[in-house]
Amino acid sequence: MIDAVIILAAGQGTRMRSKRPKVLHHLAGQPLLYHVIQAARALDPQRMVVVVGHGADQVQSTFAGQPQIEWAIQDRQLGTGHAVQCALPALEGVDGDVLILNGDVPLIQSSALQTFLDAHRTDRRLVSVLSTTIDPPTGYGRIVRNEAGEFLRIVEEKDADNSTRVLTEINSGTYAVQLNFLRHALSTLSNNNAQGEYYLTDIISSALNQHPSPHPTGCYLHPDFFSLSGVNNRRHLAALERAFRDRLVERLMDEGVTFIDPESCWLDADVNIGPDTVIHPNVILGPEVTIGANCTVGAFCHISRSRIGDECEILPFCHLDGATLEGGNPVGPYARLRPLAELAPNAKVGNFCEVKKARIGHGSKVNHLTYIGDATIGRGVNVGAGTITCNYDGANKHQTIIGDGAFIGSDVQMVAPVNVGAGAVIGAGTTVTKNVPDDALALSRPKQVHIPNWRKRSTK
């Protein structure tokens, strides 16, 4: 539990060269800020204030409807100290500790934050900083310690002399601070520095000045640079995306998922996969994908917003979006399942088939070159090659309903709305425009005629 969290997200992110506010750029399928909010939530904060400025409306509307977020507006970005000041009115009356995070540090982990908070409390600090090491430390504030290793201050690169500039321990921009101390320290900040900004980092010196003993400031070193690193440009974004996905894939492998070539697969944050499932190279999964146990996902599949049960075999080059596979389903290669495609257990969709807003019943087969849209297909149905449900009349969509055990020959068109009864047989090449009774044979093609000696006549 933590009394309050403040997330700084008002900066423009000039180096992204983007019209979009930096914290709305996506990593693993979610805005950067989303990842930070999730990490904060795991600490069970009583209050959470996000400071926004650049593109504030856009940021706020992106997170509209999400619980617990309070917004503070920083109209002009006068520095990190000023940003925190803007958040304080929202926390009036709140006591205890506040955790301050940057909205552009997407790989931050709640476990690391918890360890950091525990240390801050055990050591009874007024202010604690989470640091890491990076070489070269370009762009970051440097951590300065005395000979005993005690934390003294943070010096921004632009204010640093040569001996400070070479230090490789840097400020991650993550702080735990006693709120009452913070209120006081912020009220004394000045912007007398190289950037003319109000530096939040100056509260370190004010803690040391006011309460020289016992040591009121702590700086806790975290070994993993990536998890504390911020996004300042699109190269950083790509590098962190890579690191995030490596972490995700490694976790899934630890949970029993095989990745034949982990480096080539791209997963969003909200992908879940059951044990003994095998993911082949060059697979893209997410957002909102759940895959059961004992499945195979073939090479070059792209799956989003889909739920896949156990024992499914998805062959290479399939595209699934908004599909549900209830289990034991063979799919593909080259199948396209669009939103609301639903495969009952053991239903099969083969190569070059498209399914949309349709349920394929238990054990039914749609094997080759077929379009099924706005349809309900019963159990044990066989749909022949090249079959089409003609669901659209140019104005409206209509339903095709096929009963259990029906057999649809090849190259059949079913002009919806139309029902095919249970056990009915549709001859190859038939255009079905009227409901077919149960167990009937439907044929609509003209009888084959032979005109003798046609060849001779036509070449005369």
Smallest distance from the beta carbon of 281 to ligand UD1, in angstroms?
35
The verdict on 282 binding ligand UD1 (CB under 6 A) reads no
Our CB check for ligand UD1 shows the closer of 77 and 376 to be: 77
Of these, 33, 49, 78, 402, which contacts ligand UD1 (CB under 6 A)? 78
- The site map against ligand UD1 for 138-177 (x = CB under 6 A) is --xx------------x-x-------------xxxx----
Instruction: Report 332-391 residues binding ligand UD1 (CB under 6 A).
Output: none
First to last CA, the chain: 95
Show the tokens assigned to 366.
Answer: 């749609």
Instruction: Report 19-58 residues binding ligand UD1 (CB under 6 A).
Output: 51
Smallest distance from the beta carbon of 103 to ligand UD1, in angstroms?
5
Of these, 2, 9, 283, 323, which contacts ligand UD1 (CB under 6 A)? 9
Q: Which stretch binds ligand UD1 (CB under 6 A): 42-50, 198-206, 401-409, 411-419?
A: 198-206
Smallest distance from the beta carbon of 329 to ligand UD1, in angstroms?
45
Residue nearest to ligand UD1 (CB): 141
Report the relative pairing of strands 348-351 and 400-402 from DSSP bridges: unpaired
The verdict on 274 binding ligand UD1 (CB under 6 A) reads no
Please calculate the CA angle 443-444-450 and round it to the nearest 5 degrees.
100
Contact criterion met (CB below 8 Å) for 23 and 32 = yes
Local structure of 21: helix, strand or coil = coil
The alpha carbon of 371 is separated from its chain's Cα centroid by a whole number of angstroms, namely 30
φ, ψ at 315 (rounded to 5°): -80, 170
Query: DSSP readout, 292-360?
Result: -SS-EE-TT-EEESEEE-TT-EE-SS-EEES-EE-SS-EE-SS-EE-TTEEE-TT-EEEET-EEEEEEE
Q: Which stretch binds ligand UD1 (CB under 6 A): 75-83, 234-242, 367-375, 442-450?
A: 75-83
Q: How far apart are CA 369 and CA 390, in angstroms?
A: 14
Smallest distance from the beta carbon of 328 to ligand UD1, in angstroms?
48
Q: How far apart are CA 11 and CA 278, in angstroms?
A: 42
Q: How far apart are CA 141 and CA 168, in angstroms?
A: 10
Smallest distance from the beta carbon of 55 to ligand UD1, in angstroms?
11
Among candidate residues 211, 368, 398, 450, the one labeled active-site is 368
The verdict on 108 binding ligand UD1 (CB under 6 A) reads no
Our CB check for ligand UD1 shows the closer of 11 and 330 to be: 11
Local structure of 57: helix, strand or coil = helix
The verdict on 83 binding ligand UD1 (CB under 6 A) reads yes
Active site residue 211: no
Instruction: Report 200-259 residues binding ligand UD1 (CB under 6 A).
Output: 200-201, 230
Local structure of 115: helix, strand or coil = helix
SS3 labels along 161-198: CHHHHCCCEEEEEEEEEEHHHHHHHHHCCCCCCCCCCC
Query: What single-letter amino acid sits at 236?
Result: H
Of these, 10, 87, 176, 355, which contacts ligand UD1 (CB under 6 A)? 10
Rounded to whole angstroms, what are the CA distances from 92 to 76, 180, 201?
Answer: 22, 10, 22
Smallest distance from the beta carbon of 7 to ligand UD1, in angstroms?
8
Of these, 35, 82, 120, 280, which contacts ligand UD1 (CB under 6 A)? 82
Our CB check for ligand UD1 shows the closer of 200 and 406 to be: 200
Q: How far apart are CA 4 and CA 136, in angstroms?
A: 33
Size of interface with ligand UD1, in residues (CB under 6 A): 27
The verdict on 310 binding ligand UD1 (CB under 6 A) reads no
Question: So which residues are the catalytic ones?
Answer: 368
Binding site for ligand UD1 (CB under 6 A): 8-11, 51, 74, 77-80, 82-83, 102-104, 140-141, 154, 156, 170-173, 199-201, 230
